[in-house]
Structure 1
Amino acid sequence: MAQGGTPHHRPSWLVQKAPDQESLRRMRALMEGQALNTVCVEAQCPNQGECFACGTATFLILGDICTRGCRFCAVKHGRPAPIDPEEPDRLAQTAAQLGLKHVVITSVTRDDLPDQGAGQFAAAVRAVKAASPDTSVEVLIPDFQGRLELLEMVARAQPEVIAHNLETVPRFYGPVRRGAQYGRSLEVVANVKRVSAAASKSGIMLGLGERREEVLGVLSDLRGAGCDILTLGQYLAPSPEHAPVERFVPPAEFDELKREALALGFKYVAASPYVRSSYRADRAWKAVREAAGS
């Protein structure tokens, strides 16, 4: 693999033009008016200007406070507020108002809830489908502590894509993915095919210090679990208190990994420094759907 930049200076390929501020303002005002959160803002996604300008967003349900404290994530952690039962309907109304054709719904991890938040996911999917029957829905779920019945609860709402990110290689689960287990997360991805007809999706970050063989091992594991869609992006530390960036991975290396992943049999791969799990997710679903001939 090609040598990347030092972690002290962002290389030229990570320089983006300033986002459309009017689009940012308009989308944020709409979300705030509906008391909705987006992972775009809460996780400091670098693509939010582009996505907001296209009228797309990834909805963040179950509040904006996570019960875990992963060292790569900008989302706040602590004691969350109670579930808002009206949130699914507000989300669906906003998605319809925006005219979205592909809605992505994710959440903070809610280890404090008896159902880990699975019921709210299912309610949100059903609400979107009722309000916008022609809209496809993607859910990016936490691990639900490995409970299969909770994944089944979400699957019964019939989202078109069910995603769960492995995030990094097994060696870094202890240091950066507190409360998570690699084997458990991999099993979540594998179980998608066992309980539903949805496309399965996962993603990992690069730049934490992983080795090439570790990355290829994760890709092989994901294909073995039947994963259809893969995302690969550069890790960027949200603050000095988070896990540091060990290396900036060059675009050519992302291209190389994309070729490797496609050769393994993934149906769609998005790989570049600024790719995030939900970045232009509509394109991935469209490609998988077309490949299936539907």
Structure 2
Amino acid sequence: MPQLNHLKKPEWLKIKVPGGEGYRTVKQRLKDHKLHTVCEEALCPNMEECWGRRTATFMILGDTCTRNCRFCAVKKGVPLPPNPDEPRQLAEAVNELGLKYVVITSVDRDDLADGGASIWSESVHQIRSLNPNCKIEVLIPDFQGDQKALDMVLSAVPDVVGHNLETIPSLYPIARSKGNYQLSLNVLQYISKKGFLTKTGIMVGLGEKPEEVIDLMKDAYKHGVTLFTIGQYLQPTSRHLPVKEYVSPAQFMEYKKIGETLGFDHVESGPLVRSSYHADEQAIFQKKGQS
């Protein structure tokens, strides 16, 4: 059983306690519509900043995941059946908050025949119907590689499609035991070949070496990823994997430079970066000459 990390948290990881007006407004709207956010469920360190800007990453298909990744704070267990009204509730919340860019993610729903793809698709359709000027980014699970499920989500034509690699392949057995590194790469490649702006993200501080991170970045780029994020892993509770290292801001800057050299359209790299952090700004980056 992992123990609570005893490394002293550096100054650059200290964050503001949530509580501003924008934060309270978003929190109330989520409560009104009985919606979940990965911001809350995953204990994201950027809630004050993002909610203050009236942005949030919505988490659909409930708050209970069928997998047990040992880095993730989201609740694990047997989920409730999907709420068929969730896409409408989500679209109404986006409308009430006046969002121009929305990110949707979900728990893994390996208990469902389609992995929840139908709810995913309907959520994108409902948001776009009620909010035609809102850009939509989806951060999807691997759907166990099921192309029919992937096609169902992609048929709704989100503006950006992300799927996180999370960590280097050698750490999958301890961090993401029900995931598969090559399968995730294949999912990213499939998304890219369908013509979508493709995104992935990882966390560092679990014991990986810089050269392993660089190898992963090369793999991601070869499989069609254009937007890449790197952030510091923070241990949610004593039941989760401990932090092995607090990666320095200088190292994050080095990863950014390397990623740009490899050819990514944009690399968001920093201690507090999460996959949806400043997602609206990340999505505008395009390679020179690309429309």
TM above 0.5: yes
Distance 1:111 1:49 in 2: 32
Alpha-carbon distance between aligned partners in 1 of 2:227 and 2:155, rounded to the nearest angstrom = 21
Aligned residues: 287
**2:79 matched to 1:68?**
no
Q: Is the 8 A contact 1:230 1:270 kept in 2?
A: yes
Number of the residue aligned with 2:254? 256
How far is 1:64 from its partner?
Answer: 0.2
Confirm whether residue 227 of structure 1 aligns to residue 222 of structure 2: no
**Within the alignment, does 1:162 sit opposite 2:154 as a pair?**
no
Q: Cα gap change, 1:134/1:290 in structure 2, threshold over 3 Å: closer, same or farther?
A: farther
Residues 129 and 218 (structure 1), Cα distance of their counterparts in 2 relative to 1, 3 Å cut: same
**Cα pair 1:20 1:50 within 8 Å, conserved:** no
Report the alpha carbon displacement of residue 24 of structure 1 after superposing the two structures with TM: 2.6
Partner of 1:44: 43
Q: Which blocks of at least 5 consecutive residues in structure 1 are unaligned? A: 1-5
Structure 2: segments with no counterpart, 5+ residues: none
1:244 to 242, 245, 257: 242
Q: Secondary structure at the match of 2:241?
A: coil
Give the letter aligned to residue 211 of structure 1: K
Counterpart check, 1:23 vs 2:60? no
Q: TM-score, normalised by structure 2?
A: 0.96
Q: Is the 8 A contact 1:232 1:270 kept in 2?
A: yes
Structure 1 counterpart of 2:244, which letter?
Answer: E
CA distance in 1 between counterparts of 2:6 and 2:167 reads: 18
Tell me how far 1:50 sits from its aligned partner.
0.5
* CA deviations over 1:122-152 (Å, ceiling 9, x no partner): 1000111101111111100000001112111
Shift of 1:291: 6.4
In the other structure, the counterpart of 2:89 is 90
Please give the alpha-carbon distance, in whole angstroms, between the structure 1 residues aligned to 2:45 and 2:213: 23
Two-structure CA RMSD over aligned residues (Å): 1.4
Q: C-alpha offsets along residues 14-57 of structure 1, whole Å, 9 cap, x if unaligned?
A: 11233344333221111011010000001100001100000000
Deviates more, 1:234-243 or 1:14-23: 14-23
- The aligned counterpart of 1:215 is 213
Q: Find the residue that maps to 1:246 and give its secondary structure.
A: coil
**Identical-residue share of aligned pairs (%):** 45
What are the superposed Cα offsets for residues 53-101 of structure 1, whole Å, 9 maximum, x if unpaired?
0000000000000000100000000000001011001101111111111
SS in 2 for 1:288: coil
2:23/2:54 contact within 8 Å kept: no
> Contact conserved, 2:193 with 2:224, CA < 8 A, in 1?
no
Q: Mean alpha-carbon deviation: is it higher for 153-162 or for 280-289? A: 280-289
C-alpha displacement at 1:288, in angstroms? 3.2
Does the 8 Å contact 1:7/1:246 carry over to 2?
no
Q: Which range moved further: 79-88 or 7-16?
A: 7-16
Q: Name the SS for the 1:201 alignment partner.
A: strand
Alpha-carbon distance in 2 for matches of 1:246, 1:65: 27
What is the CA-CA distance between 1:289 and the residue it aligns to? 8.8
> For residues 273 and 7 of structure 1, do their structure 2 counterparts lie closer, same or farther at Cα, with a shift above 3 Å needed?
farther
1:125 counterpart letter in structure 2: V
Distance between the aligned counterparts of 2:176 and 2:6, measured in 1?
21
Q: Identify the residue that residue 202 of structure 2 maps to in structure 1.
A: 204
Report the alpha carbon displacement of residue 7 of structure 1 after superposing the two structures with TM. Answer: 5.3
When normalised by structure 1's length, the TM-score is 0.95
